[in-house]
Amino acid sequence: MVKNKLVYASSLFLILLSTSCSSAEDAVADTEIPVINCQANITVTIASTENEAKVDYIIPKATDNVSAMVTQTSGLTPGAMFPIGTTTNIFRAKDGAGNIATCSFDVVVTRNAPSNNKPYFIGNDPTPSGKKWTKVGELSDEFEGTSFDDNKWHRNPATDGFNWIGRAPGLFESDNVTVSDGNLNVTVEKFTSPKTVNNTVFTHGGAIIRSKVLAKPGQYYECRMKANKTIMSSTFWISFKQNCNTGPVRKLELDIQECVGRVHSGTEAWANNWDQIFASNTWRHKQTCDVATSLQSPGKTALTEKNNSRFFVYGCWWKSPTEILFYLDGKFTHSITNPPADFDLEGYITMAMETYDWNPVDEAGSVFTSGSFDDLTTKYDWVRTWKLENQ
């Protein structure tokens, strides 16, 4: 009887020991991290007139010693329309024990450069039904090569018929205008010694370029421009001649884009964002034979980037004497429908780098002495003009 009791006790001990060992093994924590691998980055190039691209991809799978669930924590799902720029897609693998691993890849969508065969419109194309745009060669330039086209453009203010040499302290000088690397370059400067012209003292140099052929209502005007980084301007506009004796008596000005490279503590409050703005305007200037005061009707769009941070495409459809539409990088931004006079005259495409009294030269930390060629130069990749014709 005692022997049987000992055998029973021994068996029970072995059973308990086995159960204890099994429970200890089961209690060991799962520390193995899942393995998840994403695919390589995807790059997609779309037409210049498109906003987004459909992108398909395979959701990554995960492996684990037990099992893991994959979820997407950032980005867009396969087959979605991806916008211009970089979209980062992040995936997470998590097992039952809470172990986590992640991976990611980028979808990069870029646009082709605007076509040189038609105006740059993205999304809603405003071209009237039954019409097509035809380039006006005499008012267009790709600025290829190394030579300035004196047959298309004035760069000497003494010969352009306006005889405006610049607003002091900025003097227009033709040798500040060059062509290189596919750009029209206008480089501003601070003179080593002041210059006196027509009894006026100038300390800085800029330049002005005007078309030799007249710009007309109904046409579309655009340029791809990167502003300089100084207090001086970078502009694209249409200027009009005026003569009280022979007419027209109206002195007009159509500003497509007017900005400065830098503002500072001395800048007028109304212009404190003019280094990141698409600023347009229509003027009827004061003249002895016309209005008693200057009249204007502006239109503006604030930017989130500096005008000198990259090239922007500035466009203007001078649709009619009373309706002018403006486009930035192919997209409609603002309009002027109540100009101070009918804009029914012909003018000249103008690009001027000048100084303003509302954004005066400040010497502290002047980029004129420390800046590079790129810092001091307004660059025009191209200027293009289009007219409507029947299809």
Which residues have a catalytic role annotated? Answer: 253, 258
Residue 152 CB-density burial (10 A; 0-12 exposed, 13-18 middle, 19+ buried) = middle
Which H, E and C letters describe 207-265, residue by residue? EEEEECCCECCCCEEEEEEECCCCCCEEEEEEECCCCCCCCCCCEEEEEEEEEECCCCC
Write the CB contacts of 369 (distance below 8 Å, at least 6 apart in sequence): 190
Q: How far is CA 118 from CA 218, 363, 377, in A?
A: 15, 44, 28
Residues facing residue 204 across a β-bridge: 170, 190
Task: Tell me the CA end-to-end span of the chain in Å, nearest whole number.
Answer: 116
Q: Which of 289, 317, 359 is nearest to 127 (CA)?
A: 317
- The two structure tokens encoding residue 263: 């503002």
Residues facing residue 63 across a β-bridge: 35
Q: Which of 280, 330, 312, 333 is nearest to 380 (CA)?
A: 312
The answer to whether 318 and 336 are in contact (CB under 8 A) is no
Identity of the amino acid at 93? A
The answer to whether 388 and 133 are in contact (CB under 8 A) is yes
Residue 367: helix, strand or coil by DSSP? helix
The answer to whether 73 and 104 are in contact (CB under 8 A) is no
CA angle (328, 333, 334) in 5-degree steps: 125
- The two structure tokens encoding residue 288: 């002895």
Residue 7: helix, strand or coil by DSSP? helix
Rounded distance, CA 254 to CA 285, Å?
11
